[in-house]
Amino acid sequence: MHTQNVAASALLAGTSAFAALAVAFAGHAAAAQSGELAGSCSGRHGTVITLDLSGYDYAGPNTANITLDGSRPSRVSFGTDYHWSSGSLDNTVDHTARVVVRSQGGRSFSDTVTVAACR
């Protein structure tokens, strides 16, 4: 009987430890870095392209190279979060933006978005 209690206690302790690790890693996963490059076009507000980067573990310097309509890339350094907007662009022509992000954590992000003329 004593052997069964010891085995049950060991199993319970192992399960509890696993559950604690799962909770710890789930919290870390929720803080994972993310990036989104998006664009929209409306007749009233023109074309707007936005970049949202968040949750970077290292406070910097992370870098983002942003190219708008084939222009020379703008390079910015940022910490854990960065938000950018093109402002209102001419909505009678197509616009393309590209971003390449390099982070100190060794992860990178790149994306391209094209917004068609809407007017």
Output the average pLDDT for the chain.
79
Residue 2's pLDDT band (cuts 50, 70, 90): low
Residue 52, C-beta contacts closer than 8 angstroms, at least 6 positions apart = 34, 35, 36, 38, 82, 83
Condensed to tens digits (0 to 9), the pLDDT of residues 37-88 reads 999 998 788 999 999 999 887 767 899 999 999 999 999 999 989 999 999 9
pTM, full prediction: 0.69
Condensed to tens digits (0 to 9), the pLDDT of residues 15-36 reads 444 444 333 333 344 457 789 9
Q: Are residues 24 and 39 in the same domain?
A: no
Q: Are residues 7 and 61 in the same domain?
A: no
Range of the structural domain that residue 52 is part of: 33-115
Q: Are residues 61 and 109 in the same domain?
A: yes
Q: H helices of the chain, where?
A: 2-30
Q: What is the pLDDT of residue 18?
A: 41
If one counts the domains in the chain, the total is 2
Q: Are residues 97 and 42 in the same domain?
A: yes
Of 33, 30, 73, residue with least CA distance to 52: 33
Q: Are residues 54 and 97 in the same domain?
A: yes
- Kindly compute the dihedral angle of the four CA atoms of residues 83, 84, 85, 86, in this order, to the nearest 10 degrees: -170
Q: Are residues 45 and 94 in the same domain?
A: yes
